[in-house]
Structure 1
Amino acid sequence: MTVALMWEARAVPGRGAELLAWAGQQVLPAPPLRRETFRAPQDRVLVITWWDAPYDDPDLPELATPPEELVSRPVHRWRFESVAAD
């Protein structure tokens, strides 16, 4: 089964580039099948990692929480399982 972990944070206004750089420097303890990083207006950063694992695997590595001074609110995290692929 393929599981996607989504991690989304919103930077303090004007610090989006720093948050993006911080997220890109984070090394996970195991390599995912795939990892993509996105940015969006309002200094938001999204990282999606794909894993070959059961949906409820408690050992899947999550991105850390960024330094408090970089984010304007708590990090949002979601977990999805793949049901179809093109």
Structure 2
Amino acid sequence: MPVRELLQRIGSDEITEWMAFYQMEPFGDMRADLRSGVIASTFANANRTKHTRPFTPEDFMPFIERPETIDEAHLNVARFKSMFAHRVKKHG
């Protein structure tokens, strides 16, 4: 919704309340991606070797702005997939 339309529908006091609520209870795509990252990192850590660096949720969130994140995240996803490649049924 355009900002002008939003401001016609609700007042600045309600916008301020929503902003405060978001600070206490984040919602939206970032929060959902973090939840998915937690699940993926937990699963990956349960199956990693002792000598491998522990995975973090951010390792599975390639859009986070860190210089090494995008390449590292893709590498981590590839590693994660390779852990279970032997269990995947081949179709064809």
* Higher Cα radius of gyration: 2
Same fold (TM over 0.5): no
What TM-score do you get using the length of structure 1 for normalisation? 0.27
More strand by share: 1
